[in-house]
Structure 1
Amino acid sequence: MDTRITEATKAMAGAKDATELSPEGILQLGLGFWASKTLLSAAELGLFTELAAGPLDGETLRQRLGLHERGARDFFDALVTLRMLERDGGVYRNTAATERYLDRNKSTYVGGMLAGAGRRLYANWGLLTEALRTGKPQNGTADGEDLFEMLFSDPEKVEMFAKAMSGGSLQAAEALARRFPWANYDTFIDIGTAEGRLPVEVGRLHSHLSGGGFDLPPMRPVFEAYVERHALADRLSFYSGDFLAGPLPSAEVLVMGHILHDWNLEVKRELLAKAWSALPKGRRARRLRPDHR
């Protein structure tokens, strides 16, 4: 057989000689938890919040965080390699992104999601093989126990869950606050609001709006404290209830974030039907102005 034809056929098929293959992509994916846990530990330690006050040399940063000498420098340098920190000589500083999103004192903080991942999700995902073999949940609940009942069983878990939801919602909340035609409406309610990140972002940019968030009763103090910190308690209220057991509160705009993915198709349809029923009748068929279509 003409070897030129063989090689041309292989090239057309996208085939590669064994000498051109590399395990690099496989190993990077398989060991990706190294990088992930490095970031989760940094967030848990409050490293980025510490550096938000100003750059620090490695020894000062180590002492501020209470770290052992053995691994501190490698830990900081790993974060530089991962582009979570910048280093000039022996002095470390936040990147623009970690300065904005991982300083606990900023309203743009998303580290609550990382804290939840570090405390719960990291360990849960370590049990994926067991979950695949048995079909049983590996999220810390006992057989037949409701996840939300477990999470909402004490105030500390409620607050951790709320901050995690806020961390995962910031980008979507900011986009909705800027891009949705809120000028056409006067009232809105965020269903499954948790801490209230979305109502606060929307209310902050649109002073004519009133509404709030709907969630299970244990979330009330967390929501009200968050709204109060942003001086929006006069326009944003907490609506208590269980969207699986009763109707939804009425408003011109209802928002569901990180909800529908939790349930099967039947429950999804039920929730959407409840949302439709909760809309004021005069608003159900209302179309947006042409410039907002």
Structure 2
Amino acid sequence: MENQDNQPSPASIMQIGSGFWASKLLLAAVKFQLFTKLAEKQSMSAQQIKTMLNLKCNDIHLFDFLDALTGFGFLNRKGILESAVYSNSVNADAFLVIDKPAYIGGMLDMLNNRLYQFWGNLEEGLLTGLPQNEIKAGDDNLFDELYKSPERLLEFINAMGSIQIGNFNAFAQQFDFSKYKTLTDVGGCGAALSATVAKHQPHMKCTSFDLPVVEPIAKEKIAKTLFSDRVTTASGDFFADPFPKADIVVMGNILHDWDEPKKLALLQKAYDALPDGGAFVAIENVIDDDRSKNVFGMMMSLNMLIETGTGFDYTFSSFNKWTKSVGFKSTSIVPLTGPASAAIAYK
């Protein structure tokens, strides 16, 4: 990479090469629940934070930790070193405080607890084409393995809900629901999409469809909303069982888990569950057709290598090809938040 004077510079190379330092800084702060505890107190000194978090490091490293978080925009600071007082930035207060509606810490927890270590084996994944996670040593399906542990299952469901909540809100407000009455969210996890659509579209009835082990968690989360009269659950295996019929079928971060034949099988099942004029929606990090802008989408696709071995993210042109091959008449795409979009196919 070159700077504006067209002279070579190592700055961007080192920024990316040491990127895991910045990542771990944020992930550690989330694990400590620093932002949540700061929100409760409004502001705290470094020593108060050190005592609260039970940190044993030297004071200079404490200042390094807090001031680096400040430099990245996660904290605000008045004063310096021993006189400094820290508080949450606007973004940290909105997205990193537990129980705030836009909290995304669930995904950050999973990044820290699972994916951080597995991405250390990216080279092996590229060399072998094999998963590098909990199923590395065996033949189990990733989701079967994750769902064996209630703690990991809940962490996964919380992660999927938190990474997509902004996209779900955008979809629920930007998509034209006026011609539709029912929605099925296939692989709905904790029913976050269904509850979000019900919130913004009072005429819609939504069903969150996932494996039987997920259903009790989804029901518990639905019960905490104001929309339990219009959000229900259904359980089954989305490869083995038909999808609950609806005017709209949605998959959020589902298609990218699988290879192309399984993607096509899921698209066919979605087509079969829809009436004429119905819509299928994939909410994912759809890669731009030039494969030059949505770098996050390409990294998410590599994450599918780490997680499943054969799953991958895709471009809108690939989505067009697949949906038309199973019978959908037309497609469109709606940008959501950040690198995510809603790829839509109409029957």
Q: TM-score range by the shorter chain?
A: 0.7 to 0.9
Q: In the alignment, what sits opposite 2:129? A: 135
Q: In the alignment, what sits opposite 2:216? A: 221
Structure with bigger helix share is 1
- Output the CA distance in 2 between the equivalents of 1:42 and 1:174: 26
Aligned to 1:169, the other structure's residue is in SS state helix
Alignment of 1:117-156 (within 5 A): 117-141=111-135, 142-156=137-151
Deviation of the 1:282 alpha carbon = 6.9
Q: Is the 8 A contact 2:102 2:166 kept in 1?
A: no
Alignment of 1:64-143 (within 5 A): 64-70=52-58, 71-89=61-79, 90-141=84-135, 142-143=137-138
Relative to structure 1, the CA distance from residue 31 to residue 282 in structure 2 (aligned partners, 3 Å threshold; closer, same or farther) is closer
Q: In the alignment, what sits opposite 2:342? A: none
TM-score using structure 2 length: 0.74
Alignment of 1:1-293 (within 5 A): 20-53=7-40, 54-70=42-58, 71-89=61-79, 90-141=84-135, 142-281=137-276, 283=278
Q: Is the 8 A contact 2:248 2:278 kept in 1?
A: no
- Output the CA distance in 2 between the equivalents of 1:36 and 1:244: 36
Q: In the alignment, what sits opposite 1:11? A: none
Deviation of the 1:69 alpha carbon = 4.1
Aligned to 1:21, the other structure's residue is in SS state coil
Deviation of the 1:143 alpha carbon = 2.3
Q: Is the 8 A contact 2:98 2:105 kept in 1?
A: yes
Q: Is the 8 A contact 1:86 1:92 kept in 2?
A: yes
TM-score using structure 1 length: 0.87
Cα shift readout 1:173-197 (whole Å, capped 9, x = no counterpart) = 0111111112322111111111122
Q: Is the 8 A contact 1:155 1:218 kept in 2?
A: no
For 1:162, give the aligned amino acid.
I
Deviation of the 1:114 alpha carbon = 0.3
For structure 1, the 5+ residue unaligned runs are 1-13, 288-292
For 1:78, give the aligned amino acid.
A
Superposed CA RMSD in Å reads 2.1
- Output the CA distance in 2 between the equivalents of 1:283 and 1:82: 44
Cα shift readout 1:219-274 (whole Å, capped 9, x = no counterpart) = 11221111111132221111101111121111111111101111122111111111
Find the structure with the greater CA-based Rg.
Answer: 1
- Output the CA distance in 1 between the equivalents of 2:198 and 2:5: 56
Cα shift readout 1:120-169 (whole Å, capped 9, x = no counterpart) = 00000011122223333211113211100000112111100001101210
- Output the CA distance in 2 between the equivalents of 1:265 and 1:130: 23
For structure 2, the 5+ residue unaligned runs are 280-327, 331-345
Deviation of the 1:281 alpha carbon = 4.6
Aligned to 2:242, the other structure's residue is in SS state coil
- Output the CA distance in 2 between the equivalents of 1:227 and 1:92: 36
- Output the CA distance in 2 between the equivalents of 1:45 and 1:196: 27
- Output the CA distance in 1 between the equivalents of 2:262 and 2:329: 26
Relative to structure 1, the CA distance from residue 25 to residue 144 in structure 2 (aligned partners, 3 Å threshold; closer, same or farther) is same
Cα shift readout 1:49-80 (whole Å, capped 9, x = no counterpart) = 11222111211122222222423222111100
- Output the CA distance in 1 between the equivalents of 2:72 and 2:197: 33
For 2:12, give the aligned amino acid.
G
Deviation of the 1:278 alpha carbon = 0.5
Identity of aligned residues (%): 38
Aligned to 1:242, the other structure's residue is in SS state coil
